[in-house]
A = this chain, B = another copy of it.
Amino acid sequence: MVAESDLNTGLLLFLPYRALENRIFARLAEAGFDDFTPAQARVMQRIGPNGTRLTELAEQAQITKQTAGFLVDQLEKAGYVVRVPDPTDKRARLVCLAEKAASAQRIAAAVVAEVEKEWEAHLGSRRMKQLREALTLLREITDPWAEPS
């Protein structure tokens, strides 16, 4: 009985995701960025280059805005983000990445590149390309925030 790949697709997606996240986290901690948590990172990851509103962060991370506010508070105390007034709406503030976060993001990007290279070595470049292609396509029907092509 060959049990090959009768694993459900959800777990199949989750396993490499977790492996990648773990790698990033470990490297970041080595580099001294050990004063934020995974939950905070998942929010920080979604902040755009021009800043993003709290509510939007909450929606994309699928958490309540209260939770998002709580996490952004921590990130602000730790110096990873700043909140600036939104010029277009006096109720709102834009959460922006501080330089400290940009440094961390550069490291994270390097780890992603490294891991992707390992994956490509294991899969072969053709299969790796197919994987990214399929996932990108899948995003259209699984990510409510995907830009329409």
Contact = CB atoms under 8 A, between A and B. Distances in A.
Contact of A118 (B15, B45, B141): B141
Contacts of A12: 132, 135-136, 139
A135 B131 contact: yes
Contacts of A134: 123, 127-128, 130-131, 134
A9 B138 CA distance: 12
Contact of A17 (B17, B20, B112): B17
Interface string A1-45: 001110111111111111111101000000000000000000001
A133 interface: yes
B135 A13 contact: yes
A139 B14 CA distance: 10
State the oligomeric state as a number of copies: 2
Contacts of A22: 62
A86 to B, nearest CB: 23
A139 B21 CA distance: 15
A43 B42 CA distance: 22
Contacts of A139: 7, 12, 15-16
Nearest to A115: B9
A137 B112 contact: no
8 contacts: A7-B136, A9-B112, A9-B115, A11-B45, A16-B135, A17-B17, A18-B62, A131-B131
